[in-house]
Structure 1
Amino acid sequence: MKYIPFILFTVLTNAAAQLMLKQGMMTLSPAVMAQPNMALKAILIVFQPWVFFGLATFVISMASHMFVLSKVDLSFAYPFLSLAYVAVAVLAWQLFGEDLGAYKIAGIVFICVGTVLIAQSGSPLSDRPHATHSTPATAMTDKAQS
């Protein structure tokens, strides 16, 4: 449970990146979108400030996620990323006026309940006494040697 703040940081930076990318794509000039040269168009899009910072925030989110994966089980950490959908849906509703109807709200409730259940059932790697982590290949090698 001590890695939950790091997991939530990963979730929030992931959601922030999505919101920045959306803002960036909404504010592209028509001249960029009309650019016939696809390589130049891609460069112009990537270096649009909101898009650029959104991509940079994704890098931070992925670095945080890699740290988390070094400390907890993947089956524990990965489902938390679904909370990014919750944050994005609510913030997109507030910031961009996107629809947040009954089905989305029900889905958000299910995501939150599922994440709580996973959080209760998972155990970080470092919390296990003498945990060994072998791949299927090393497990077979160990079995063959004994």
Structure 2
Amino acid sequence: MAYLILLLNIVFLVAGQLVWKMGLHQQGGMHLNNMLTVMFSPLVLLGISFYGIATILWLFVLSRLPLSLAYPMQSLAYVIGIIAAWSIFGEVVPLNRWIGTGIILIGVVIIGMK
């Protein structure tokens, strides 16, 4: 159950980043003259909410798993984030980032071994 909560934490972290990116794109980026508009835009507020949920889930994770296991496993958010940037936003992801993503996955597998 703790691993499922950890996975949900990761999903909400990535979802928060995705809707922030969408909100920033919708507002034309963040500049000094539109900071309040950006900060109170629906997508940015939704991202903040997702981060709040992720934080609550993280507290459950920390009460059930060792930090030395849970925290490195949370790096899966980077992997999902790169895949989302590539598939949702059409970002070009160079080979070195894909290699780094593979290294993160290998690290998570090693850390997760009993």
Do they superpose with TM above 0.5?
Answer: yes
Residues 20-31 of structure 1 aligned to structure 2 (within 5 Å): 20-29=19-28
Distance between the aligned counterparts of 1:95 and 1:5, measured in 2? 24
TM-score (norm: length of structure 1): 0.72
SS of residue paired to 2:88: helix
TM-score (norm: length of structure 2): 0.91
Contact 1:79/1:118, CA 8 A, preserved across alignment: yes
Distance between the aligned counterparts of 2:10 and 2:85, measured in 1? 15
Equivalent residue number for residue 47 of structure 1: 40
Instruction: Say if 2:93 is the partner of 1:94.
Output: no
- Deviation per CA, 1:53-89: give whole Å up to 9, x if none: 0111000011101110011111110011110011110
Distance between the aligned counterparts of 1:111 and 1:29, measured in 2? 32
Equivalent residue number for residue 12 of structure 1: 11
Equivalent residue number for residue 140 of structure 1: none
Question: Structure 2: 5+ residue runs without aligned partners?
Answer: none
The alpha-carbon deviation at position 42 of structure 1 amounts to 3.7
1:83 to 68, 76, 91: 76
Question: Structure 1: 5+ residue runs without aligned partners?
Answer: 36-40, 122-146
Contact 1:11/1:80, CA 8 A, preserved across alignment: no
Distance between the aligned counterparts of 2:14 and 2:32, measured in 1? 29
Distance between the aligned counterparts of 1:34 and 1:42, measured in 2? 6
Identity of aligned residues (%): 31
Equivalent residue number for residue 59 of structure 2: 66
CA shift in 2, pair 1:29/1:104, >3 Å: closer
Distance between the aligned counterparts of 1:101 and 1:110, measured in 2? 15
Counterpart of 1:69, as a letter, is L
Distance between the aligned counterparts of 1:92 and 1:102, measured in 2? 14
Runs of 4+ residues over 3 Å off in structure 1: none
The alpha-carbon deviation at position 33 of structure 1 amounts to 3.7
Equivalent residue number for residue 103 of structure 2: 110
Distance between the aligned counterparts of 1:56 and 1:86, measured in 2? 22
The alpha-carbon deviation at position 94 of structure 1 amounts to 1.0
Question: What is the number of equivalent residue pairs in this alignment?
Answer: 114
Q: Rg bigger for which structure?
A: 1
